[in-house]
Amino acid sequence: MFHIAPRQDTVTAQQRQRYRSLATSTLGHFTDFGAITSLAPLQRPMRLLGPALTVRIPHLDGSIIREALKMACPGDVLVIDVSGDQRRACWGEFRAYAALRKQLAGIVTNGAITDWDALSQLNLPTYARSTSPLTTRALELEGEINTPVAIDGVTVNPGDLVVGDDDGLFVIPPHRADALAEAAEAKQAREAEKRNALEAEFPEWFR
């Protein structure tokens, strides 16, 4: 049985804009909450930003992902919780083409992916735990869309802002977005001043 809840558009366009230039490592100076450190980016350089469309699959059955792709809107980040099954790949080449067609911002899964060679060449930011030749099946047993999921011990609610770069991922709930952005913006401004001063003193370091 599928459970599909309505979309949650809780992050404002202004909040999203503030995070476009913020590094996850800067956020990591101010909070541990929301940091996802166990998933690796499939491509580098990497930049991912968008609201979470959450999906939970029951181990073997990945059929609910098809419904999530139908429901997804441009700019969404598909966040897939595989319920602990890290042996099977829930994501591969042709699902990625469907995501590109829907203009998704990226994919995050605590499971495995397959078709690494094809996925690594696509302009679709993807974070996963591993690769696997085993895949999920389309059994249509059960699954959930837009319910809370857990990735690396981090609760991801539908509509939370997902921020990713080469260093990792952060999940930012709307009620923390402005305060964290303000602190991170100030820190990056200070770092830019220090960097400019060092470049003026030691230009050979920055060639």
- Residues 49/163, Cβ–Cβ less than 8 Å: yes
43 beta partners:
none
Among residues 55, 123, 50, 134, the alpha carbon closest in space to that of 92 is found at 134
Residue 61, amino acid = D
- Residues 84/140, Cβ–Cβ less than 8 Å: no
Q: Is 115 annotated as a binding residue?
A: yes
CA distance 41 to 38: 10
CA distance 138 to 65: 9
What residues form the annotated binding site for Mg(2+)? 115
Q: What residue numbers does the annotated binding site cover?
A: 115
